[in-house]
Structure 1
Amino acid sequence: MRYAVVIEKAQNNYSAYVPDLPGCVATGATIDEVEAQIREAIEFHLDGLREDGAQIPQPSSRVEYVEVAA
């Protein structure tokens, strides 16, 4: 599965979340670290859903960039 991930710069680190998996979040000191952490968080989140017998949400979020005049 391929989920959209939002990575945001915080004051001292980076945070990431998955819009299609509420509660699935991660932080890291660098972009590379937060990407690795969110990948692990997604796997852990999906494992937990499976163990609980819950339905795995299908990826449905889209990511688009919109250009505007600055």
Structure 2
Amino acid sequence: MKLPVLISQGEDGYYTAEVPVLPGCISQGKTKAEALVNIREAAELCLESMDEEGWTLPRHYSLNQVEVGA
């Protein structure tokens, strides 16, 4: 299963990774590659917990962007 991952770099230089379709599924790493490894593990754990609690992953979703004034 492939899931979307949002990666951003913080002011401290660490990379934060999150899976938008899994609320609360967030991890980090010193490098982008490390963050991806860590978020993969976190996503697997999130999916296990969701399954145990009877939650389901959204079947259909889309990734979009919105423009805001700033």
Give the TM-score category using the shorter length. 0.7 to 0.9
Partner residue in 2 for 1:21: 22
How well do the aligned residues superpose, as a CA RMSD in angstroms?
A: 1.7
Contact 1:20/1:61 (8 A) holds in 2: no
1:56 aligns with 2:57: yes
Q: Please tell me the residue identity of whatever aligns with 1:10.
A: G
1:3 aligns with 2:3: yes
- Deviation for aligned residue 1:60: 1.8
Structure 1 SS opposite 2:27: strand
Structure possessing the higher relative contact order (Cα contacts under 8 Å, 6 or more residues apart): 1
CA distance in structure 1 between the aligned counterparts of 2:60 and 2:34, rounded to whole angstroms: 23
Any stretches of 5+ residues in structure 1 without a counterpart? 65-70
- Runs of 4+ in structure 1 displaced over 6 angstroms? none
User: 55-64 or 3-12: which moved more?
Assistant: 55-64
CA distance in structure 2 between the aligned counterparts of 1:40 and 1:59, rounded to whole angstroms: 23
- Deviation for aligned residue 1:58: 3.0
Percent identity over the alignment is 38
TM-score (norm 2): 0.79
Partner residue in 2 for 1:68: none
Any stretches of 5+ residues in structure 2 without a counterpart? 66-70
